[in-house]
Structure 1
């Protein structure tokens, strides 16, 4: 379970369960107290009347043993109890069953005109086993049953909120097709909330799709005039124009083209538009060096297996950004290395610059961080998005970025990635790729 889902469950489900239990306990106490207050005196009065009745009947027949014994047997039979009769001195007159224990359930003093004639004691221990715990146990079982039922009710009430919490978390992760289906757990208010969430998610999905289409169209339209500008620069050179001006224009065009490429790569990550396939790390590194005009000898492979799964365009952009960062801020690229790091395949670039300042090991990957190794402002046109984009690409492939100073001088900046790709960046089947 997610952290948010656990929080919702703990704060609602458990609190409802606890409060149901407290309510049942308090209700039991109140009902018991009220029954004791209302019914107690009445029962005592009825019991006292019964003792008086039995005492009077026995007093009437006390001097006639036959009638008295018949009355005692009748009482014992009708009430299903054992009765023993003793005279005023405590001598046993008769008994209908086994001897009663010293502490009997009922003892009646037989009197006539204020004179004590004897005592009648009734007990039922050998007939019906005395179980004083039976009443409290029944109350406990009833309360426990009600509490278990309240637990089910609390879970039923909290489950829609838990489902909504999970859906909100999935939507926050970028899964814009997430929708809430409450099913049989839907109630009036929860159904309204679920419908509102689904409508919001659908609106967000449409807006993001529109933005993606707009960004793709704008990027395409920007690439076209950039290509025309490059042609015009070459024509200006051929026509004998200023070489310095042509070089400046070409650098600006290259910078704009790189910026458009970074924006496109960033938008693909935003919308999860990855195209994973099986790749060779050596080929990726060689192409990156070729595109940036660096010699192929700069590629150093320190692992026997360089196979991986990933998006070739995005990984190529990450390697180009690493090499460009080393050239601009590390003076010169010494090597592009493929090595093993923490059980993952790593691409890293070694430069010959002054190294990283304390704290820059993580800060250089922050968006818009625009300080070079010496602490001076970077050149105009650099937005500080290059290494931030590298980090996003690495994380999209199940890896992470790293930066460190080398013992021999200079810095090493790179990223790791899973060889097989994370769950969201799995290579499609060969048949599917061939159809595409």
Structure 2
């Protein structure tokens, strides 16, 4: 193990990296909260500011992938498709097999200038995750429940609201709904058999409602659908903890572009089109398993310095006073201060480890979660005692009890609906409860 690799593996170093991400994220979330007053005045300005604020947070995770771990991503696509990247609104369909598949998607977004404006149809549980869920909320991310009859209006309003988004956006859909596991695959194929659909070997049965609804609502805005199939060489299974520890992975992404004009508008025909697409994805995955590579031309878009410079800015801003304070504590020789500081470090280490595990959990991380939840309820208390002039916010709005209010509501007469995970499906009940939209 080289010296640099050894330094990356040190827990104290990982703790400092986590500290920078958490504290900068809280600062960014606070600034985003302050920008809410811009919504009724200039919605597009609000969006442009929040796009850049979000970039400042997301790019820190991309930096870990690109610069910290040195993970390389190779694209398999024709040049005509590559020339369109970052120049149009699109829907991304991505297989959901890995813990860091979203991070590989983000690195492509960053390299083509759309990271800050990237969107996703997400489960409500993710809204509970500090920093990530909160930043998504300010980005007008659409969250959904498990019951379509309850989700319908909220999803329609949320998607329709994005039709005039000023930045080119890549809207990610995990049509399988949940990460692939052998057990989920077995249940999914039981559903496929009951519906008379061809069985898939490497994917779960796609959930068509989310795709058809998104495509219909964003008609006239999105130009194409990108079908993305992600794999890692040597059959490695990457983890976020591995990335933080500096482990390098080799990712391959096959991307095929489908103009929206080629996709049927009728809901049933569109659903059939999606099922056929997943049969093609399965065949492509089979090819990768046998050959160790996707077919077609390759391109390696260069990583950009912006992610590294952004992290260095936050690290300098936040670590300088922290290290000065730590030195002062130990120089003082006060047992009380030293013990207190060590306890703080232990709590922070637990919080960072929990935050690293966010890609495996759907509950708020302990530690950071407790702190941020306390801040959340403090803001709720502020809202309940706020009697100033009301400022309307993005109207993804349905009545909600005050105890479930979002911090953004400090400025709003509206109440943002508490979204949950996904659309319920036909088939075994166990599969219905586990698979999102």
Same fold (TM over 0.5): no
Structure of greater relative contact order (alpha carbons < 8 Å, 6+ residues apart): 2
Q: TM-score, normalised by structure 2?
A: 0.24
Structure 1 or 2, whichever has the larger Rg, is 1
Specify which structure has the higher proportion of strand. 1
Q: TM-score, normalised by structure 1?
A: 0.24
